[in-house]
Structure 1
Amino acid sequence: MTWTLGLVSLAVVAASLLGGFLPLRARLTHTRMQLYLSVSAGVMLGAAFFHMMPEAIEQSGSAHILNWSAFGLITLYLVERFFASHHHEVAETPESATPSSCFNEPDHRHHASGIQHDPPTPAVSLHWGAAAIGLTIHSLTGGVALASAFVIGEQAGGGLGNVSSVAWGVALATLLHKPADSLTIVSLMLRGGMKPLTAHLVNLVFALMVPLGVLFFFTGIQWWGQAAGNGPAAAVLAFSAGTFLCIGLSDLLPELRFHDHDRIKISVALLAGFGLMALTVLFHQHGSTKPAAPSVVNSDAGHAGHTH
């Protein structure tokens, strides 16, 4: 598990760096960005619903573990509301850099056609800092989610390549979403007049936030202690599912009443990502989680007398 988690973390860093180079190599319109974000959001929502929340319940032995999912969603919402919001807007004009938070509706004046590229303004250069703070918080929580999924996956056992489907689901969602985060930061920094080398160095620091979140998780689990069995890791996984829900919805809901002419394409993109996570459930071996069951129901096993 350690080596696989390390390789996935490196892959996430590489994907983040790749996303930072996209503003220099390709022209990304708002519609293209929304298609990509719809796929990414569908994967994140699917990972939360089909993998993270069911696995947290299965490992904890109680549906009340989903209270942590509610706390995760609300916590990230409050962080965005009062500190820094994250957004993935293509900075084509100063107006297009308006940030959007979870459940917020940004200014959509930039949806009009015939956008002219204005010279950098001081106002635009300030936006990347706020975006970096919000996206850094998301990257740290993403690293925590990744580590908790792999720990729960190891406890459950089985799955594709000896790693459970919950671990692969969270890994795929993280890999798909991180390039959009890096693209946002780098494009805003370049739009604000920052030199490309400086922008990519900042993006490198940002990319390393996911491995740092992994380290935070293992440090926190050691402090929390293993006396509670799977409880701490399951609670963190459920909490992370709530953050995935908030991030996914923050990319989808602000665009809900716009792009009428693209509603089919964007809906298909969302369903493609969501459906991909639904298909990965086929690799989930529910029977492989039975070794964890005695820690929850062992005291009743002798009285039940059930034999399979």
Structure 2
Amino acid sequence: MDQFVVLTVYCGLIVAASMLGGALPTMMRLTHTRMQVMMSGVGGLMLGVGVLHLLPHGVAESGSIDLAVGGMFAGILTMFFLMRVFHAHQHAPVEQDYPEFAAEEHDHDHDHQHAHGHCDHDHGDPNPNSVWRWLGIFLGLSLHTLIDGVALAAAVEAAAHVESGLGRLAIGVFLGIVLHKPLDALSITFVMRAGSWSATTMNLINFGYALMCPIGMVLFYFALGTLDVSWRHAVIGGALGYAAGVFICISLADILPEIQFHSHDKWKLSSALLFGALLAVAIGWLEPPHTQRHQTSPARAQVAPLALPAERPASER
């Protein structure tokens, strides 16, 4: 299957997933526990995809461990500062938007009230429902999802070397993105609902956000076409390493707060995390090994082999 066709299909599915996330509050009962279980499962999947798929593919594609790991480091820092500056990747507490569920949820042992697993302290924002709050979340998540688009385009392009099978589809990276998009879209919807925005406006904003990932894919895909072959593999490898850092940072932001703030439902949340991680492992079984995956690809920069010391003559021993 042509890689551009794969990306086109993925674009449609990701946009649909984002729109579904914005509509979830009207379709199902989003209790706090259900949100945490979803985040734990998706977080485990994204952690596995970042460590087991994106980073190794980045090394194999670029031929440089330093380039791929450096990209991962840059990706972690990028997501950290996106969260720090825009307060992106924080979903509004379900209890505040659905007070009818609050009594049921607070029967558990909550140490804090928190958003998306984070402590929901108010640090100087006099009007948390102001337009600046949801606009900041929208901008932060839009930059984040543009990066997701670059990651998916790089993964699909790197998979072009695989002769057949699911390995050509970069299915692990796609699942990590498409399953997390509804959670991201909820961030915008929750905050806009708290500000009493109309349903039409919320749908338009959510649709604009949903388009960010396809835009990132298209820009990266066509930018690669302008590069020389010797640069293409380095750029794809660096982008895969960068995406690995983004996935790892996002997943840990979802997972780690559960250890401190959620003494209740720990087995349920841990099971969801393990299921997501095992799913990432299972997806790896459907793909060829990383060395085999790239053995038919064009020549690229290679890591210099370790030079073994020459054996000394017997007279010098």
Which TM-score band applies after superposition, normalised by the shorter structure?
0.7 to 0.9
Instruction: Output aligned runs, 1:79-118, within 5 Å.
Output: 79-93=82-96, 105-107=118-120
Is the contact made by 1:91 and 1:97 (CA closer than 8 Å) also made in structure 2?
A: no
TM-score, length-scaled by structure 1: 0.83
1:224–1:239 CA distance, 2 compared to 1 (3 A)? farther
Give 5+ residue unaligned stretches, structure 1.
110-120, 301-308
Q: For structure 1, which segment, 273-282 or 284-293, has the greater mean C-alpha deviation from structure 2 after superposition?
A: 284-293
| Correspondent of 2:176 among 173, 176, 190 | 173
1:232–1:38 CA distance, 2 compared to 1 (3 A)? same
Matched to 2:11, the amino acid is S
Provide the rounded CA distance (Å) in 1 between the counterparts of 2:240 and 2:226: 17
| Correspondent of 1:283 among 278, 282, 286 | 286
Provide the rounded CA distance (Å) in 1 between the counterparts of 2:80 and 2:171: 26
Partner of 2:217: 214
Provide the rounded CA distance (Å) in 2 between the counterparts of 1:250 and 1:201: 28
Instruction: Output aligned runs, 1:29-44, within 5 Å.
Output: 29-44=31-46
Q: Percent identity?
A: 34
1:187–1:35 CA distance, 2 compared to 1 (3 A)? same
More helix by share: 1
Partner of 1:262: 265
| Correspondent of 1:146 among 148, 152, 160 | 152
| Correspondent of 1:78 among 62, 76, 81 | 81
Provide the rounded CA distance (Å) in 1 between the counterparts of 2:183 and 2:172: 18
Q: For structure 1, which segment, 184-193 or 82-91, has the greater mean C-alpha deviation from structure 2 after superposition?
A: 82-91
The Cα shift of 1:230 comes to 1.2
For residues 10-38 of structure 1, what are the alpha-carbon distances to aligned partners after superposition, in whole Å with 9 as ceiling and x for unaligned? 10000111111111122211111010011
Partner of 1:59: 61
Provide the rounded CA distance (Å) in 2 between the counterparts of 1:85 and 1:175: 18
| Correspondent of 2:9 among 7, 10, 17 | 7
The Cα shift of 1:285 comes to 1.0
1:256–1:98 CA distance, 2 compared to 1 (3 A)? closer
Partner of 2:29: 27
Is the contact made by 1:159 and 1:285 (CA closer than 8 Å) also made in structure 2?
A: no
The Cα shift of 1:125 comes to 4.0
Matched to 1:175, the amino acid is V
Partner of 1:13: helix, strand, or coil? helix
Partner of 1:144: helix, strand, or coil? helix
TM-score, length-scaled by structure 2: 0.81
Is the contact made by 1:97 and 1:188 (CA closer than 8 Å) also made in structure 2?
A: no
Larger Rg: 2
The Cα shift of 1:271 comes to 0.7
Partner of 2:189: 186
Task: Please tell me the root mean square deviation across aligned C-alpha atoms, in Å.
Answer: 2.8
* Corresponding pairs, count: 283
Provide the rounded CA distance (Å) in 2 between the counterparts of 1:170 and 1:232: 18
